[in-house]
Structure 1
Amino acid sequence: MQEKLNCPECVDLDRRDFVRLMGTGAAVLSGAGLSLASEPEKLPMPQVIHPAEELVKELFAGLSEDQKKNIQLPWNHEARGRMYNKALGKPIKDVYTKPQQELVVRVLKAMSSGEEGYRQFSRDGTWDASKSFENCGANIFGDPTKDKYAFVFSGHHITLRCDGDSEEETAFGGPIYYGHTPMGYDSKNIFNYQTREVARLFEALDAKQRSKALITMGTPGEHEESVSFKEARKHTPAGLATAEMTADEIKLVDSVMRTILSPYRKEDVDEVMAIIKRTGGMEKIRFAFYTDESEGAKTNEKQPWSFWRLEGPGFIWNYRVLPHVHAYVNVSSKA
């Protein structure tokens, strides 16, 4: 039975048996912008050179056989597509040499939009409850010198991956996860700017649109299943569709997309937008704002939503604001 991705703020990380998988074998948007074409555009996926992946190959080439035993898993291992709240397997400090650790940092920076993106990934250098970069994990699935492979970086409130498009028609190499411990509406939360930008869109909506966008009962849930396309197909996406918005509101949608994608490298952003076009365009994306409480944290005028969510045929961005940020992302035209 699959384990839940849990958050350890109130539970000692050392007491949590979070990962047992190792023992089981285990920016800017593209120039095309946010097309609202009514028909899916059958565009080819972007073909680009990935600096991060080249660094992963360099990292792999320098690993000893003993190191590979600790961090390498088969491409088709179930752990590859999971989300993590601590290091998967052994932490970086127990596996990698100092020069190799510096190379892992270079990989992460190449996966980001630059220093600002990396600052957000690292939560301003704190790495949240992981406390340090060295306590996070960096694993390689498959063999970068041969066929399909993926690099997966894991730590508290973070799961990032890059794979040189080994996972076809899928952005970010698979589902990603990010978060930060400060309360979601607090300016100390490094991702608070994303909620502020979404709030600008909500404030521009008229009363009828807001009524459709607001969900007053329940929440979209968390963990991997909250961004599972298999689960999503069981219901009609909640909220207000971009197709129901005015031209001025669509400009704010454009700004929201630029904002939430801003920490990521351009090639990932381009891939996200290509997938959205292939699955019906931005007009299919719905915005939903949830007012029910989350983990005992109640909403009010100053903190109006516990979650906000963007969902379309091949795109899910599920963002928990309260009591602190957990964001789950899945983008794929294979949905």
Structure 2
Amino acid sequence: MNTPALSRRQFLQRSSQALASGLLATPLLQAAGAMPRSETLVHQLYSSLQEPQQKLLCFGWDDPRRLKVDNNWHITPQKLRDVLDGDQQDLVRQIFDSLHSDEYKKEVWRQFDQDNKGDGGFASSSMALFGKPGSGQFEFVLTGRHCTRRCDGDSEAGTAFGGPIFYGHAAKGFYEKPDHPGNAYWFQAKRANEVFQALDGRQRDLALLGDGRDETGSRTVNLTGKKTGLDGIPLTELSGDQKGLVRQVLGDLLAPFRKEDAQESLKYIEAAGFENLHMAFYKNQDVGNDGTWDVWQIEGPSMIWYFRGDPHVHCWAHIKEAA
């Protein structure tokens, strides 16, 4: 699509006018006194969109795509380079960047650039906006290979990250070696395997199963609401030290993301009961048959974090206050 490009001066002028007119005075801003950077940038992006762009990128709050997640998809047919000018693409980059922690964002960008290099990099991803920023109900979603990320200003009540997310990495080819060299997220599996090594024989029998769940888009992270009967060993079977290791794994899973999302996730996990979590490892998907489990998960009544490291890393996450 060819849209009239805004000059940087026009772009900044339009964003400033939107701010001055009170577009950003959402309930979140009024209650907290300051809006997180990501949400502010989403508002600025929305205010910059011309009518032809809005028709392609902006949708109603109830559109089913808003809460969809997958490992490699485009939420709209138009890629960023097809519909946004340079300044707008830069705003989208800033939104994505600000959704990640300072400690890990360099690795997140390395993963994104590597996985999308063949299709033209960041500009090959796609985005959509649901609802209307300024109304108290909006959500920005960015998608591409190994990417579903969201920013919603807490519009989706009781839901961490604004809904299910996906991240992954194929660092040195589709089929990674057993130690996953160069993978941005393999450190999470290494820590999870420390938990398995700390288990005794009876506990390992409870934790180690055959095959992990199928990857079927949004259904991969359907929440059950169940406290019992979930895959793997319930945390009630662990000692205090072992539970401490699981808490460290949760910290590692959340480490790449901004503080607001990490804190909200932990709050909901605790609200549903930390000891209601189950942890499972899957022996039939052991890359290299080395006894380091490449596929594992943590699941509770209202959360799932599924790590699939065979043949490369896919991670599916969904955390709610209640299923």
Q: 2:130 is matched by which residue type in structure 1?
A: F
- How do residues 74-223 of structure 1 correspond to structure 2 at under 5 angstroms? 74-84=60-70, 85-89=72-76, 90-114=78-102, 116-117=104-105, 119-120=107-108, 123=111, 125-128=113-116, 130-182=119-171, 183=176, 185-216=179-210, 218-222=211-215, 223=217
1:286 to 278, 283, 306: 278
TM-score by length of 2: 0.81
Q: What is the CA-CA distance between 1:229 and the residue it aligns to? A: 1.2
**Counterpart residue number, 1:72:** 58
Distance 1:207 1:118, change over 3 A: same
**Cα separation, partners in 2 of 1:226 and 1:67, compared to 1, 3 Å:** same
Q: Considering only CA atoms, is the larger Rg found in Structure 1 or Structure 2?
A: 2
Total equivalences in the alignment: 283
TM-superposed deviation, 1:103: 1.0
CA shift digits 1:99-158 (9 cap, x unpaired)? 111111111111111262353155163244644000001211111122311000100011
Which residue number corresponds to residue 219 of structure 2?
A: 225
Say whether the 8 Å CA contact 1:169–1:334 is kept in structure 2: yes
Aligned equivalent of 1:250: 243
Name the CA shift for 1:315/1:64 in 2 (closer, same or farther; >3 Å): same
What code does the residue aligned with 1:72 have? C
8 Å Cα contact 1:127-1:155 kept in structure 2: no
SS of 2:296's partner is strand
Write the distance in 2 (CA, Å) between the matches of 1:118 and 1:139. 24
Q: Which has the higher helix share?
A: 2
AA at the equivalent of 2:153? G
Q: Which amino acid aligns with 2:281?
A: F
Query: Where in structure 2 are there 5+ consecutive unaligned residues?
Result: 1-30
Unpaired segments ≥5 residues, structure 1 = 1-45
CA distance in 2: counterparts of 1:69 and 1:62, whole angstroms: 13
> Could you say which structure has the greater relative contact order, defined with CA pairs below 8 angstroms and 6 or more residues apart?
1
CA-based RMSD of the aligned residues comes to 2.2
Distance between the aligned counterparts of 1:121 and 1:317, measured in 2?
Answer: 21
Q: 1:59 to 1:124 in 2, by over 3 A?
A: closer
Structure 1 length as normaliser, TM-score?
0.79
- C-alpha distance in structure 1 between counterparts of 2:96 and 2:287, whole Å: 35
User: Which letter does structure 2 place at the counterpart of 1:188?
Assistant: G
